[in-house]
Amino acid sequence: MERRVLTMVRAIIHSAVFALVLVLSACESLPKQAHSVEEVAITEVILPDLVKKAATLELSRHQPEPKPPVIPLPPESLWDVVRQSLSMYEHNDHARVQKYRRQYLHHRQALYALLRRAQPYLYYFVEQTRERGLPIELALLPAVESSFYATAYSPQHAGGLWQIIPSTARQLKLRSNPWYDGRGDIKASTDAALGYLTYLHKRLNKDWLLALAAYNAGEYRVRRAKRNNVKRGRGKDFWALRLPRETRNYVPRLLALCSILADPQRYGIKLPELKNQPWFVQVPVDGGLSLRHLAKYSGIKEQDLKVLNPGLLRWITPPGKTTQLLIPVEKQTQFQQMLATLPPDPSQELVRYKVVRGDTLSGIAKRYGVSVRAITRANQRSSHRIRAGETLLIPSASQSLNRLALSQQRVIKHRVRSGDSLWAIAKRYKVSTRDLVRWNQLNPRRYLRPGQHLKVYVPS
């Protein structure tokens, strides 16, 4: 390349000399001093500049192509995504937030169990929250609502991860029938809950703390508390309002958890592994199939199917219609291959029987070899009264026997002692915390009380 530059420089010098000769011949009549000045101007100003440009031109031909900008890869851990997206830091030093942060850190095993229960759902919650442009803190709200127990059911009849009460479910168009409850459907309930929070945010001066309080206590209760404070000349922010004790603690508990996730190393918390990728995928399946039957032939654990499909009230896909079942994403291919050759589910065969005059429930049960209780449960009824012309669903005898086996389990009454936790009690009796919550209709948001009695079912 140096030779090429020298060649170009020589050519430029020759051209410059030729130009110099022309200038000198045109300026013969000028004084000698003027001639020398013109010569200096060309040789010392024009010539170096031309040489410099030629060298730059030649060098630019050999410059490498500019590299495209480096786009950073998304974080591998979902916890990193959450940590980078948290935005409500200004409340971290509030006394009530500090109180619940200390409480979380004091009960570390319960905190770790909570975060592990979040694993199947959190990616979807984060994804949906970000798609809507909502604060990432909302994705963690089920930690406070249900402690990430998908089958949680409160004394106020709130159900599911987002703890939606029946009246709100109807308002949000969540379907419910004897086979299915939309409040337990992971995707449907999340869409409804985030939509409702967005609505509350708009209605309450775009204040997220007030929207969260209204989600717990109700929109009009929060509005009334604001009006009362205005009359008394007090503040209108969440911290100044007189709200029910549960609501006053509800928002700080969420903020306290978020503050720990924002800097887990500071608090000595080791977060469970959680990759930044989907946990589940949706697959259409026929109606009338039990999760146990699907688990048996697909190789997926039955408990995993239950964790992802808590909206199925009987752990059966509703008969007569296609159900969008959630399954672990890594099992999608083998599950779909299995569906192509899946044999009928003998335990879930349901017979439709039309009641005629003179029939009794006990007589029908005896005729089909099932218990009266099996028929009442299959038809979601507590009364034994039947009327001519109505249609009853009669479960198969094998299904009835399975339920009979469950009913023959021994019941233990455990008296809660100081320091007890759901996790410790479940470990002691070798049952799941989910079952403890379901058997006793516990509110996972509240701590156990010493002296409280819990039912525990163990094999007889």
Q: Is residue 434 in a domain?
A: yes
Q: Is residue 133 in a domain?
A: yes
Q: How many domains does the chain have?
A: 5
Whether the predicted pLDDT of 318 surpasses 80: yes
Q: Are residues 388 and 255 in the same domain?
A: no
Q: Mean of the per-residue pLDDT values for the chain?
A: 83
Q: Are residues 241 and 334 in the same domain?
A: no
Q: Are residues 12 and 99 in the same domain?
A: no
Q: Are residues 31 and 52 in the same domain?
A: yes
Q: Is residue 425 in a domain?
A: yes
Where among 324, 346, 368 does a domain terminate?
A: 346
Q: Are residues 108 and 232 in the same domain?
A: yes
Residues 280 and 270: their CA atoms lie apart, in Å, by 24
Alpha helices (runs of H) in 244-360, residue ranges in sequence order: 245-262, 291-298, 302-308, 332-340
Q: Is residue 69 in a domain?
A: no
Q: Are residues 380 and 416 in the same domain?
A: no
Active site residue 39: no
Q: Are residues 148 and 257 in the same domain?
A: yes
Q: Is residue 320 in a domain?
A: yes
Q: What is the pLDDT of residue 380?
A: 75
Q: Are residues 9 and 39 in the same domain?
A: yes
**pLDDT tens-digit series, residues 76-88:** 899 999 999 999 9
Contact status, residue 453 vs residue 413, Cβ threshold 8 Å: yes
User: Which CATH number goes with the domain that contains 85?
Assistant: 1.10.530.10
**pLDDT tens-digit series, residues 353-399:** 888 888 888 888 877 767 788 788 778 788 888 988 888 888 764 44
Q: Are residues 375 and 442 in the same domain?
A: no
Count of positions (residues) in the chain: 460
Q: What is the DSSP annotation of 119-141?
A: HHHHHHHHHHHHHTT--GGGGGH
**pLDDT tens-digit series, residues 138-181:** 999 999 999 999 999 888 889 999 999 999 999 999 999 878 99
Q: Is residue 223 in a domain?
A: yes
Where among 320, 346, 372 does a domain terminate?
A: 346
Q: What is the three-class DSSP state of 283?
A: strand
Q: Are residues 198 and 215 in the same domain?
A: yes
Cα torsion angle, 229, 232, 235, 240, sign? negative
Q: What is the pLDDT of residue 91?
A: 94
Catalytic residue selected from 145, 246, 330, 390 = 145
Q: Is residue 234 in a domain?
A: yes
The percentage of residues in the chain with a pLDDT greater than 90, rounded to a whole number, is 52
Q: Is residue 141 in a domain?
A: yes
Range of the domain at 424: 409-458
Q: What is the three-class DSSP state of 341?
A: coil
Q: Are residues 231 and 362 in the same domain?
A: no
**Closest C-alpha among 320, 62, 279 to residue 179:** 320
User: Which CATH number goes with the domain that contains 422?
Assistant: 3.10.350.10
Q: Are residues 94 and 158 in the same domain?
A: yes
Residues 304 and 301: their CA atoms lie apart, in Å, by 5
Whether the predicted pLDDT of 443 surpasses 80: no
